[in-house]
């Protein structure tokens, strides 16, 4: 009966995902990815000069054309491979430990690949490539951020968490407090943070399937969601781990090949590639548009400007703030933390972090070449005509490398990259659903409602039901947010994790006086303050700001007309659009009724992280508990020795 139910569930998912409906007349653009800036090397300092790359004069196309038969075939291959893993893992998932942590039997090497697979999401692959292709080396630090942030995990979190925890954040915190309030707060925090990130992935999956296959958005979301729920419910952590490993291997191999071809086109010389970017007329024109220069300023080097910081995040504090959120936030992400409970000992936990860092660093360096190559060989204008956020840049450069639109090589390589992106979504969403369901089942049900007295069969059953519930809610929210800018949620995921989860983890592991009040204050105040700042930050839409920017363009172009100059066709189009934008937005307000942001930064980390730490500190000092201080001795011994941790199960 279990096998029949599994096949029926997969059938629903396959039909929803693989069925190719007629393309809609208008395909919605994917949500843009969040990013930050980084120092860049100026093109003027390069020793090798190159001629400008010839740009296509053809009008930009409005849709990325895929060979649907090839693409669907590739998708089905990926699905078939993961189904095979699912059947294998389902037979080995019997206990709660198997379901939540693969019985602690994952090696450091395997876990390192799985962590890389968990970290390298579709937003990382598609979003970072697109960011670099549209904003130059502003995206380079964003590419290096996920690598650097694992230093925090390696030096502070990995070993103590493996020794002191069991399945969730609540397990670690419960050593410092026996209060059910702590269990509840940690579970809610885990679900909230995972949900922010999960929703971003689900919306991205729906948009990707809609754009590439012409599948209606709602059907794509339902198909992906149903498939993920089946994977997590039947395979648990073991199935999720191996899907992540395979996905990471495919992603690294693919980017290695694509980056190698781009460098080969530039004579295997990265400096020459940068010079090609700076010399590109299309790039120069794109920078002029970003800087809102309707008329080119004499003597201004727009190509050089593309290789400098400030095109995306113009405030240096934004760069610092997002860097803080990423550096500390990844250590507080529930689906990353869960991975340290899958290895047999602390040594393997450290090893897995080192392997993950190496893989992630390699991948993101290669992605930088993909983004720069896309800006030269595809052009920013062509990329933005498909998707204003740039999320299709990686797919477009792959199609170009394969031979271009309509060629067998181009279609084949594009179909393969689409399948890899799809596998990326499956892997990341599986980890997020598992983290959320673990918090609900293990923390809320088993330890709060049942006082830890649920048997193994009951725990696994509730965890599976929680997976179905989380998946259903994710599908509904993703459908409701189809036309919303979910980039705000990605910002929130890292910022909330850095401002609430990370401070309480750090203090729980290393501060003797830490107690229930400190844990609760850190989790609640840190998260609430962060969400509040984001709601009044530039991440939200402010119509009057749009109107003001449009009015500046109108003023410049009307002055040019008044001086007797004749506007080009493109300038006339720009003027008409600016007038329309002004008329539509001049009287509008933000979601909270504001005319302009109250908080100037896109990421609140530089303010919210200190507030989260201070909330935890003051909560602890104001409500001191001698009894809970005494519990630190047990935590200290366990985090340093691993005493009391069950041996890994044989698999």
Give the domains, in start order, of the chain with CATH numbers. 72-483 (1.20.1730.10)
pLDDT for position 62: 61
Residue 283 contacts residue 376 (beta carbons within 8 Å): yes
Residue 544 has a CB neighbour count (10 Å cut-off) of 16
H/E element, 500: none
Q: What is the average pLDDT score of the chain? A: 80
Q: What is the pLDDT of residues 306-316, one digit of tens each?
A: 988 888 777 78
pLDDT for position 376: 93
pLDDT for position 610: 95
38-68 burial code (b ≥16 CB/10 A, e <16): bebeebeebeeebebbebeeeeeeeebebbb
Q: What is the pLDDT of residues 273-313, one digit of tens each?
A: 999 999 999 999 999 988 888 777 888 888 888 988 888 77
pLDDT for position 48: 32
What token pair was written down for 311?
A: 């095109």
pLDDT for position 324: 87
pLDDT for position 147: 74
Residue 460 contacts residue 229 (beta carbons within 8 Å): no
Report pTM.
0.80
pLDDT for position 484: 64
pLDDT for position 119: 84
Low-confidence ranges of the chain (pLDDT < 50): 1-58, 646-651
| Angle, CA 522 vertex, CA 518 and CA 528 arms, to 5° | 145
DSSP string, 158-173: HHHHHHH-SSSHHHHH
Residue 416 contacts residue 72 (beta carbons within 8 Å): no
pLDDT for position 111: 92
Residue 150 contacts residue 353 (beta carbons within 8 Å): yes
């Amino acid at each position: 009966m279990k096998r029949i139910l599994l096949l029926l569930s997969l059938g629903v998912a396959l039909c929803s995902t693989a069925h190719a409906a007629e393309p809609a007349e208008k395909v919605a653009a994917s949500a843009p990815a969040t990013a930050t800036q980084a120092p860049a090397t100026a093109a003027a300092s390069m020793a090798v000069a190159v001629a400008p790359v010839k740009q296509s004069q053809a009008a930009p196309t409005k849709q990325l054309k895929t060979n649907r038969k090839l693409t669907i075939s590739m998708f089905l291959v990926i699905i078939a491979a993961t189904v095979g893993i699912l059947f294998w893992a389902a037979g080995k998932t019997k206990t709660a430990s198997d379901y939540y942590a693969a019985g602690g039997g994952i090696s450091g090497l395997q876990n390192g690949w799985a962590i890389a697979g968990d970290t390298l999401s579709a937003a990382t692959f598609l979003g970072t490539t697109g960011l670099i292709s549209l904003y130059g080396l502003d995206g380079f630090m964003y590419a290096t951020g996920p690598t650097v942030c694992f230093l925090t995990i390696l030096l502070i979190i990995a070993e103590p968490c493996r020794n002191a925890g069991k399945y969730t954040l609540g397990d670690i915190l419960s050593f410092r407090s026996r209060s059910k309030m702590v269990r509840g707060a940690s579970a809610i925090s885990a679900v909230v943070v995972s949900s922010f990130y999960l929703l971003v992935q689900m919306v991205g999956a729906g948009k990707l399937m809609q754009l590439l296959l012409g599948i209606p958005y709602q059907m794509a979301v339902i198909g992906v969601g149903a498939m993920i729920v089946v994977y997590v419910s039947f395979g648990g952590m073991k199935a999720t781990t191996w899907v992540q490993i395979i996905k990471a291997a495919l992603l690294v191999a693919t980017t290695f090949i694509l980056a190698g071809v781009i460098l080969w086109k530039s004579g295997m010389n990265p400096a020459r590639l940068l010079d090609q970017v700076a010399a590109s007329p299309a790039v120069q024109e794109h920078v002029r548009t970003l800087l809102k220069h309707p008329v080119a300023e004499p003597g201004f080097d727009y190509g050089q400007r593309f290789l400098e910081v400030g095109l995306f995040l113009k405030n240096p504090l934004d760069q610092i703030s997002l860097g803080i959120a990423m550096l500390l936030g990844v250590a507080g992400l529930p689906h990353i933390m869960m991975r340290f409970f899958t290895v047999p000992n602390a040594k393997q936990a450290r090893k897995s972090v080192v392997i993950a860092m190496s893989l992630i660093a390699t991948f993101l360096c290669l992605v930088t070449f993909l983004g720069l190559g896309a800006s030269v060989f595809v052009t920013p204008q062509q990329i933005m005509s498909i998707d204003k956020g740039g999320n299709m840049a990686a797919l477009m450069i792959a199609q170009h490398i394969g031979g271009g639109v309509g060629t067998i090589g181009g279609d084949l390589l594009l179909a393969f990259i689409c399948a890899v992106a799809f596998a990326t979504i499956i892997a990341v969403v599986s980890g997020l659903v598992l983290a959320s369901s673990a918090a609900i089942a293990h923390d809320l049900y088993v330890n709060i409602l049942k006082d830890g007295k649920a048997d193994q069969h009951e725990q696994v059953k509730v965890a599976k039901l929680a997976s179905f519930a989380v998946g259903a809610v994710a599908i509904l929210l993703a459908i409701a947010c189809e036309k919303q800018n979910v980039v705000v949620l990605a910002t929130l995921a890292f910022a909330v994790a850095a401002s609430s989860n990370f401070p309480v983890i750090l203090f729980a592991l290393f501060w003797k006086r830490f107690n229930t009040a400190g844990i609760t204050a850190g989790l609640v105040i840190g998260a609430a303050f962060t969400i509040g700042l984001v709601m009044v930050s530039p991440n939200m839409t402010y119509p009057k700001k749009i109107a003001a920017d449009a009015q500046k363009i109108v003023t410049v172009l009307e002055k040019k007309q008044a001086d007797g100059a004749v506007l080009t066709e493109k300038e006339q189009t720009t003027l008409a659009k600016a007038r329309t934008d002004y008329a539509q937005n001049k009287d509008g307000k933000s979601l909270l009724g504001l005319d302009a942001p109250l908080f100037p930064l896109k990421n609140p980390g530089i303010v919210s992280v200190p507030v989260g730490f201070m909330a935890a500190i003051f909560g602890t000092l104001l409500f001191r508990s001698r009894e809970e201080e005494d519990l630190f001795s047990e935590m200290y011994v366990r985090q340093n020795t691993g005493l009391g941790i069950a041996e890994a199960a044989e698999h």
